[in-house]
Structure 1
Amino acid sequence: MWSRRAALALLLGLAVGAGAAQPGATTLHLVTETSPFVYAEGDRVGGPATARLELILRSAGIDDYRIDIYPWARAYDLALKQPNVLIYLIARTPEREQQFKWIGAFMEQSYDFYRLRSRHDIAVERLADARRYSIGVVRDDVRHQFLRGQGFTRLLLASQSVETVRHLLNQRVDLVLLTEADWMVLCRQPQLDCAQLEKVHRLAELHTGLYAAFSQSTPDALVQRVRRAFDGLKAEGKLKL
């Protein structure tokens, strides 16, 4: 039989072990995708959105976190299913409202349909007109979810916006939906000849704010700390992208 001293030592050992495991269990995981506001800088994740978010976390007294860039669908899935996940930049829509704990808006975003300049047969004056055409979208992006919710079925899914533009240039799709920021960054890439593209219609039905948001299973106390930090820095004008 074990002595009382041995049993006490075992209990103390378990308690220490449990305490040592806590920091790793509560490490905040920031997930995102490559965009005009987030990109790799050597071996770290940078970009203006990342810089603002790290400023918010410092203001909230949080330094135990890591940042990973994924294809959007992977980042979105992690934020839906895992605790202590902070996703950015994510469009806030009615469909997503109850799926996340929202922090705050960094900027507003509008979306435009683009076609090949040579495709004079493609005309879009309202959303219903776009139903006649195939459209390239990023999987689980707000554009994909919006069009799917509107009953669109001719959607070619990609993991990144650059792929949708390649699909358009290769005439695998008739249209793509891009933001002004998408356009500016993608068209700097020498392999993409954006002179072949032209804007045909602004999708007025889809105008969103881009936010940071926590997964639903993240503790409310942590969410509130970051919200307070966000609100304070935004009031000081330090969060503009």
Structure 2
Amino acid sequence: MSPTTRVLNASTKALYRLCLLLPLLANHEASAEPLVIELHIPDAPPLTFVNDPRGHGIVGDVAVAAMTRAGYTVKIHVLPWARAQKHVSEEHDHLITPLSRIPTREDRFTWIASIMPMERAFFSLERRVSSFAQAKETYRKIGVGLGSAQEDILRSEGFSDEQIYPLAIGDNPAQMLLMGRIDAWFNGVPESRYIWPKVSKRKLLMSSVGSNADLYLACSKQCSPEMVEHLRDAVEALRADGTVKRVHDLYLPQ
């Protein structure tokens, strides 16, 4: 066999091996691309922002940082809060935050990690209360975020449908309280204290804290165990290195 023939045969074999490897290389490159994960948030300052130059809020920024740290690409979705919860719970591998871990939601989601605690209280302009029982007797209409944990908490505490006034999450309940359309607002303490000064200079009366339920980064009921583990580790790493506190202090300075 001539030297030319040997070279051609060697080239042919090399080309054949390359052709065999091309699909594997393509698959490797495709798998190296970050997985795009949907994150559902409401516009609920300062916990989550949809349009704010600083970012996505306390819980939103931590969730996005955890997803990035875990190697995922974030795709933000904003739906009405009740619809967002239904959508995420029925999908696969969708994320949602800030979601309070309360009994009525326990079996509908995969709970990844607590991001921050959340105290809740009654806010009013005229009458301060010290318990759920007193609030039940004092307030005729109590504003709550539609689809929020606050709505579920009041129902579980025995408040009637006539007393519970669900409103779009955001500053709507604060505006309704200012106009006298509701007697009280049952909501998270940091959120209410953040929103109220932007609505009015009137003094806002706060009750004793009536409920505590941590705000979580959660996933669909059917969620990749690997993704849950990676995100849980990422949130704890952000807490350990001080990122969670720094983000909190950016939106809620002491």
User: The TM-score by the shorter chain falls in which range?
Assistant: 0.7 to 0.9
Select the structure of larger CA radius of gyration: 2
Distance across 2 between alignment mates of 1:185 and 1:43: 17
The answer as to 2:221 corresponding to 1:212 is: no
Q: Are the counterparts in 2 of residues 45 and 68 from structure 1 also a CA contact under 8 Å?
A: no
The answer to whether 1:147 aligns with 2:160 is no
Q: After superposition, what is the alpha-carbon deviation per residue over 1:96-154, rounded to whole angstroms, capped at 9, x for unaligned?
A: 2222111211211111211123xxxx452321121132211112211100101122121
- CA separation of 1:44 and 1:109: change in aligned 2, threshold 3 A: closer
Q: Normalising by the residue count of structure 1, what TM-score does the alignment of the two structures yield? A: 0.77
Determine if the alignment matches structure 1 residue 104 to structure 2 residue 113.
yes
TM-score normalised per structure 2:
0.74
Q: Find the aligned partners of 1:44 and 1:115 in 2 and give their Cα distance.
A: 30
Partner of 1:135: 142
Name the CA shift for 1:82/1:60 in 2 (closer, same or farther; >3 Å). same
Structure 1 unaligned residues grouped into runs of 5+: 1-18
Name the SS for the 1:76 alignment partner. Answer: helix
For 2:208, the aligned partner's letter is: R
Out of 137, 151, 162, the residue aligned to residue 171 of structure 2 is: 162
Task: Tell me which residue corresponds to 2:58.
Answer: 48
Count of matched residue positions in the alignment of Structure 1 and Structure 2 = 213
- 1:216-227 alignment to 2 at 5 Å? 216-227=221-232
Q: Shift of the alpha carbon at 1:167? A: 1.6
Structure 2: unaligned runs, 5 residues or longer? 1-26, 249-254
| Superposed CA offset, 1:186-229 (max 9, x none) | 1242xx22415322x2233x111111111112222222221222
Quick one: which amino acid aligns to residue 190 of structure 2?
A
Partners of 2:158 and 2:117 lie apart in 1 by 25
2:213 corresponds to which letter in structure 1? T
User: Match for residue 202 of structure 1?
Assistant: 208
Q: Distance in 1 between matches of 2:242 and 2:221?
A: 28
Equivalent-residue separation in structure 1 for 2:94 and 2:169 (angstroms): 21
Name the structure where helix makes up a greater proportion of residues.
2
Identity of aligned residues (%): 24
| Residue aligning to 1:29 | 38
